[in-house]
Structure 1
Amino acid sequence: MESPYVIGIDMGGTNTAFGIVDMRGEVLRRGAIKTQKHTDVNLYIDELYSALMEIIEEVGGIEKIKGIGMGAPNGNYYTGNIEFAPNLPWKGVIPFANMLKEKFGVPAALTNDANAAAIGEMTYGAARGMKNFIMITLGTGVGSGIVINGQLVYGHDGFAGELGHTTIVRNNGRVCGCGKTGCLETYTSATGVARTARELLEIRKDDSLLRNIPLESITSKDVFDAAVKGDAIALEIFEYTGKLLGEAFADFVAFSAPEAIVIFGGLAKSGDLIMKPVRDNMEQNLLPIWKGKVKLLFSALNEADAAVLGASALAWELK
């Protein structure tokens, strides 16, 4: 009989979350360890192994596990390697999928975190049954997973789909962590929204609830809270962010004609504050052939489990 469960691992720069998932997409057991704790990747794998084996035993042992899927920064699906991830304590190229396979004795695969979210959305969430959609994750950065004809697009080298690093502001754009300027990520991520707030408050004199917070401490959540209370500057920040996202989405539609664009991450919690300007600006900039055709959806996955579910979905395909 086929093993009834898979493991999903979501490796973030700070924490690594994991869970055991059944075929219906229920997370039966979960846990987490600190990613940054070990500068030696082997010690990290040892800790991950101990923590996972504890919950694997609770569901009947390793023979119940079909495989392991992992979402990781700079994870390359083709090679199974994590390659030159800037936010991880281990440098260079790490053959992570192979290390997991050897340690646990079951097949393992990895991809990057935004691709894992797209696979999760397609397997268990808002994009279930869709063959063409784009997943956009709005967190500390802007990630994306592009699905065309039911297949995730990996490109020639395994790294396709970096829509957060397309240029949205050509002249005097903000410097991005990637080294380029004007990247979408620098404006429409949670960090980008906080940056817009600081810039506006410095050049403007009008009152704002955001002036009660030290400039350097402002977060995107503060901007949201102020916007809900009707604060004019906070509302303007959402309009501006939504305008840039909407314009970028219109370009993305021209490239892959998706049925939907699914938005996931902290900023998605802003609801219509972000969605209305995004939709209006996307529609204004679409070619007539696509107007009114592309759905904008919020992720249907529970945020706490989404990345783990997405990673786990990779493992069902393993032989």
Structure 2
Amino acid sequence: MYGAIEAGGTKFVCAVSDENLNIIERESIKTTVPEETMALVFKFFDKFKLEAIGIGSFGPIDVNKKSKTYGYITSTPKKGWANYNFLGAVKERYNIPVGWTTDVNAAALGELKKGAAVNLDSCLYLTVGTGIGGGAVINGNLLEGYGHPEMGHILIRRHKDDKYEGKCPFHKDCLEGMAAGPSIEARWGKKAYELTNEDKVWEIEAYYIAQALMVYTLTLSPERIVLGGGVMKQLQLFPLIRKELEKLMANYVSMPNLDEYIVPPALKDNAGITGCLLLAIDTK
């Protein structure tokens, strides 16, 4: 049996499956402080004899195996979790192999192996919700280097009709600061799901996301881009983003069919936990 932890800022999803990804048991645990949340995580997994565990965590996290803080959640604003030795705590509890990556890298792996990018060698997953984060699998390998991708914090051009200053506490008007759910609410005074029929809202949103996809396309050339998260449940965004990306690329490079290139997650809200289970199986 294999364990998986999809660690989010709001909740931890824990699951156990067999080698065929048939889920035996699953539980959602509220993210409070490490002492409380991890006690419940361990209580869940203590019931099973596991071969390996895969963790996909909110970040920033340290993925550099040469680093003294490898396996830590690092500079998160989430109370109690900054500089927390997440991987170390799990390894101390269970003497088994443990895979470690970001939540969005795990989602990219899930969509590549079991979702919208099956039979491809590369996939980029971008979540647009409370924040914006991206992960990628390129040529079958998770994209990591001295650190992990922070795709939500690239700089973008401001839309000519947008006067909003941006919400990111670090960069103000980066992609996350301009296009994440909280920035939509701050700009328009309503949550994204309450603005479904407001065309201007989605025109501006598509403009920002398409710029990001242009950058990722020109730098990583993924075979598919999967867009998930709460904001992307506004499905009217997909054709707007494809149209804007086509305009931005201006025929500079040949592109795949955009209807097939930019897609919603086939695994829906299960992309992350599926990727964590795959990571556990690969880590064994």
The answer to whether the superposition gives a TM-score over 0.5 is yes
Structure 1 counterpart of 2:150: 162
Question: Structure 2: any 5+ residue segments left out of the alignment?
Answer: 65-69
How far the C-alpha of 1:311 sits from its partner, in A, is: 1.8
Q: TM-score, normalised by structure 2?
A: 0.87
Q: How does 1:69-80 map to 2 (within 5 A)?
A: 69-74=54-59, 75-78=61-64, 79-80=70-71
Counterparts in 2 of 1:247 and 1:108: CA distance versus 1, 3 Å? same
1:80 and 1:109 in contact (8 A); partners too: no
Q: What pairs with 1:104-143 in structure 2 (closer than 5 Å)?
A: 104-143=94-133
Instruction: Please give the secondary structure, in 1, of the residue aligned with 2:91.
Output: helix
Distance across 1 between alignment mates of 2:122 and 2:180: 24
Q: Deviations over 1:231-281 (max 9, x none)?
A: xxx11101111122112212221111121111111122221x101110001
Q: 1:83 maps to what in 2?
A: 74
Q: Is residue 196–residue 237 contact of structure 1 (8 Å, CA) maintained in 2? A: no
- Kindly provide the amino acid, as one letter, of the partner of residue 214 in structure 2: A
Greater Cα shift, 173-182 or 280-289: 173-182
Pairing of 1:183-194 with structure 2 (within 5 A):
183-194=174-185
**8 Å CA contact retained: 1:8, 1:312:** yes
How many Å apart are 1:119 and its aligned residue?
Answer: 1.4
Matches within 5 A, 1:110-259: 110-155=100-145, 157-159=146-148, 161-169=149-157, 174-198=165-189, 218-224=190-196, 227=197, 234-259=198-223
Equivalent-residue separation in structure 1 for 2:79 and 2:5 (angstroms)? 15
Measure the CA separation in 2 of the matches of 1:174 and 1:313: 40
Distance in 1 separating the partners of 2:17 and 2:102: 19
Q: Structure 1: which 5+ residue stretches go unaligned?
A: 57-61, 199-217, 228-233
Among residues 285, 292, 296, which one is paired with 2:262 in the alignment? 296
The letter for the 2-side match of 1:279 is R
Aligned 8 A contact 2:99 2:279 in 1? yes
Conserved 8 A contact 2:167-2:178: no
| Partners of 2:106 and 2:279 within 8 A in 1 | yes
Alignment check: 8 A CA contact 1:136 1:261 kept: yes
- 2:40 corresponding residue in structure 1: 47
Q: Which residue does 2:248 correspond to in 1?
A: 285
Instruction: Confirm whether residue 314 of structure 1 aligns to residue 279 of structure 2.
Output: yes
How far is 1:283 from its partner?
0.7
The answer (yes or no) to whether the contact 2:14–2:41 under 8 Å persists in 1 is: no
Quote the residue 2:67 is aligned against. none
Q: Whole-Å Cα distance in 2 between the matches of residues 132 and 123 of structure 1?
A: 10
Instruction: Name the SS of the counterpart of 2:253 in structure 1.
Output: helix
Question: TM-score, normalised on structure 1?
Answer: 0.78
Give the Cα–Cα distance (whole angstroms) in 1 for the partners of residues 79 and 56 of structure 2.
13
Deviations 1:98-126, CA, capped at 9 Å, x for gaps: 22122122221221211111111122211
Distance 2:36 2:206 in 1: 43
Matched residues, number: 272
Rounded to whole Å, the distance in 1 between the matches of 2:22 and 2:180 is 29
Larger Rg: 1
CA contact (8 A) 1:138 1:264 kept: yes
